[in-house]
Amino acid sequence: GQSLEQPSEVTAVEGAIVQINCTYQTSGFYGLSWYQQHDGGAPTFLSYNALDGLEETGRFSSFLSRSDSYGYLLLQELQMKDSASYFCACDTGGFKTIFGAGTRLFVKA
Amino acid sequence: EAGVAQSPRYKIIEKRQSVAFWCNPISGHATLYWYQQILGQGPKLLIQFQNNGVVDDSQLPKDRFSAERLKGVDSTLKIQPAKLEDSAVYLCASSLDRTGIIINNEQFFGPGTRLTVL
């Protein structure tokens, strides 16, 4: 079957750096996305990696290794407002999107 | 640019009743998705439309769920009859044309409809 694995929870302090890993097993692969979702809110897009390497957008960076079926989201200079759930999502064969179960990030003062 | 619109925002029904959700995607977005998100889990794709054609509905419980996207614009998702396990947030999302080379598959989500089945 198709699946994505990511840690269920991560805790870090304000100002720190945190990395959220995602490994995937899918039938066909086009790209890996990351979304942020605050409690009671809708998912919002953070990044998309179709090719190997690092993509940087402000304090957030995302990495993909297609050969390892692995990616990560890196959050720098953590702020309290970054406390949220983070989902990795794969675009698979047939253009179908599959989401992981999500990683809940707690940022402490 | 207006975002993805959904209604209603909240709905409470009893099991075996019927319910319908409506979604209006961002203008010009060819692809429309319906997701079910149960509390504490990631969104699960129910159905994906490309214009008014179905791309994937493999996880749609077709004995009770149906969806349509007439004229390739707005869409309706229906549940008939509802079960207790259908209690979830139903998210609609849209994106630009998914065919061809995908450089950045950003999906734009609506606020969701929170369904409670009693």
A8-25 residue pLDDT tens: 999 999 999 999 999 999
Give mean pLDDT, residues A74-100: 92
B41 contacts in chain A (CB < 8 Å): 101-102
Alpha-carbon distance of A63 to A90, in angstroms, equals: 13
Q: Are strands B113-117 and B53-56 parallel, antiparallel or unpaired?
A: unpaired
pLDDT confidence tier of residue A93, bands split at 50, 70 and 90? confident
CA proximity to B85, closest of B64, B110, B66, B109: B64
Q: Do A95 and B48 touch (CB under 8 A)?
A: yes
pLDDT higher than 70, residue B35: yes
**DSSP characters for A37-105?**
E-TTS--EEEEEESSSEEEEETTEEEEEETTTTEEEEEE-S--GGG-EEEEEEEE-GGG-EEE---EEE
**pLDDT tens profile B43-59:** 999 999 988 899 899 99
B107 contacts in chain A (CB < 8 Å): 33, 35, 43, 45, 97
pLDDT confidence tier of residue B65, bands split at 50, 70 and 90? very high
Number of other CB atoms surrounding residue B30 within 10 Å: 16
pLDDT at B99: 58
| Optimal mutation site among A62, A97, A103, interface B, most CBs of chain B within 10 A | A97
pLDDT at A71: 98
pLDDT confidence tier of residue B10, bands split at 50, 70 and 90? very high
pLDDT confidence tier of residue A95, bands split at 50, 70 and 90? confident
Taking the Cβ of residue B109 and every Cβ of chain A, the question of whether any pair is shorter than 8 Å is answered with yes
Considering only the beta carbons, identify the residue of A89, A91, A101 that sits closest to B102: A91
Structure tokens at B61: 């419980």
Q: Do B105 and A101 touch (CB under 8 A)?
A: no
pLDDT confidence tier of residue A27, bands split at 50, 70 and 90? confident
| Eight-state DSSP code of residue A100 | -
pLDDT at B62: 95
